[in-house]
Amino acid sequence: MEFKDYYEIMGVKRDATQDEIKRAYRKLARKYHPDVSKEKDAEARFKEVGEAYEVLKEPDKRAAYDQLGANWKGGQDFRPPPDWDEGFEFRGRGDAGKDDGIHSDFFDSLFGRGRGGPGAAHQRSFNMQGEDHHARIAIDIGDSYAGATRTITLKMAEVDEQGRVVTREHVLNVAIPKGVRSGQQIRLAGKGGPGIGAGKSGDLYLQVEFHRHPIFRADGRDVYLDVPVAPWEAALGAGIKVPTPEGSVEMKVPPKSRAGSKLRLKGRGLPGNPAGDLYVVLQIALPPADNETAIAAYRKMAADLPFNPRAEMGV
């Protein structure tokens, strides 16, 4: 198993005071808290930092950890020496776990298996509802339009027959409800952690995010797309075909449209009650001046049209 350098994880020196450790923890926890952070791997980092703090904040555990020596480097292969924790207060207590965390093997080998969920450390004849689990799921915008089934794999801590905490992979088929929006949570009743005794299973909460789509962008229940039009289509008006997540539709570009004009297709956003709208944002595409005809046409426009595109800038 890998050695974890808790000091390195916390970014503090080995002789840091308890106050410095607390400050470092608070700072990192704010940075990586899964509810706050947009950092990549925020959740994994938050757990790692939490584990490091759990050891370093308690003088007993810190002292025990320190006596492993300062020569270990994070990531090195590690086996705890026998009786390494002799004489320390926490020895054999085995209740080191926080309710919601899964510790690294390194931590477990030193401080004992954590509790897998509320009450897991208790004996049988004890009934308690299983833990709720929270996870994220990324879907395509089209999945929200049509509804879809997605297979997701979750790692969950479970308590086995011997009362030990083991990590199992759960494969779940999730029916994505139609109209779900980015940022919303889907709750799957009974798909969380198993209950204890006669307790019911917990629930699974999935926070939904959309994959980036090459054409469509969602803002709440509204969906946006950029649609290029030729200068004459924008100037004179035109009937054009635009793609939507449900197939293409015909729409009218009104005369005198400008770049950036938004045209609304009511009710063509994400489905729901009410459904969102689809906004077509016009982009004006210029025909390339790469042949005689095109060059001649541009020359004619330049000669015939008294047009200063920078008039509003006063130059």
Partner 1 sequence: MTINDSPLRHAICIIEEQSGFTLEDLCRACAANMESGSEIIIELVEEGVLEPTGTSPAEWRFDGLSVRRARVALTLWRDLGVNTAGAALALQLMEELEVLRSRMTALGGG
285-294, long-range: CB < 8 A, 24+ apart: 285/228, 285/229, 285/230, 285/231, 286/231, 287/230, 287/231
x/- mask, partner 1, residues 150-189, rule CB under 8 A, reads: ------------------------xx-x-xxxxxxxxxxx
Q: Is 135 a residue that touches partner 1 (CB under 8 A)?
A: no
Segment interacting with partner 1, rule: CB under 8 A, options 33-41, 75-83, 119-127, 306-314: 33-41
Q: Is 35 a residue that touches partner 1 (CB under 8 A)?
A: yes
Please name which of 250, 259, 251 lies closest in space to residue 285, comparing C-alpha atoms. 259
The DSSP output letter for 121 is T
Nearest CB to partner 1, comparing residues 78 and 144: 144
User: Using the rule CB under 8 A, which residue among 42, 138, 217, 265 binds partner 1?
Assistant: 217
User: Using the rule CB under 8 A, which residue among 36, 198, 236, 286 binds partner 1?
Assistant: 36
Q: Is 128 a residue that touches partner 1 (CB under 8 A)?
A: no
User: Using the rule CB under 8 A, which residue among 2, 11, 18, 30 binds partner 1?
Assistant: 30
Instruction: Give me the least distance between CB of 122 and partner 1, in Å please.
Output: 15
- Phi and psi (nearest 5°) for 245? -60, -15
Q: Other C-beta atoms within 10 Å of 267: how many? A: 12
Q: Which residues lie closer than 8 Å to 295 by C-beta, 6 or more apart?
A: 289
Nearest CB to partner 1, comparing residues 110 and 204: 204
> How far, in Å, CA of 134 to CA of 152, rounded?
13
Please name which of 72, 68, 96, 97 lies closest in space to residue 84, comparing C-alpha atoms. 68
The interface with partner 1 within residues 286-315 (CB under 8 A) comprises: none
Instruction: Give me the least distance between CB of 164 and partner 1, in Å please.
Output: 22
Q: Is 224 a residue that touches partner 1 (CB under 8 A)?
A: yes
Nearest CB to partner 1, comparing residues 12 and 270: 270
Kindly state the number of chain residues that form the binding site for partner 1, as judged by CB under 8 A.
38
Q: Which residues pair with 206 in a beta bridge?
A: 135, 186
User: Helix (H, G, I), strand (E, B), or coil: what is residue 278?
Assistant: strand
> How far, in Å, CA of 306 to CA of 277, rounded?
38
Q: Is 263 a residue that touches partner 1 (CB under 8 A)?
A: no
User: Using the rule CB under 8 A, which residue among 4, 21, 50, 143 binds partner 1?
Assistant: 50
Could you tell me the CA-to-CA distances from 273 to 22, 136, 267, 270, 308 in Å, in that order?
A: 48, 25, 10, 10, 46
> How far, in Å, CA of 79 to CA of 70, rounded?
15
**What is the Rg, in whole angstroms, of the alpha carbon atoms belonging to the chain?**
30
Instruction: Give me the least distance between CB of 156 and partner 1, in Å please.
Output: 14
Instruction: Give me the least distance between CB of 265 and partner 1, in Å please.
Output: 15
Instruction: Give me the least distance between CB of 161 and partner 1, in Å please.
Output: 25
Please name which of 229, 227, 231, 238 lies closest in space to residue 305, comparing C-alpha atoms. 231
For partner 1, the binding residues (CB under 8 A) are 26, 29-30, 33, 35-36, 46, 50, 100, 129, 131-132, 174-175, 177, 179-190, 202-203, 205, 217-220, 222, 224, 226, 272
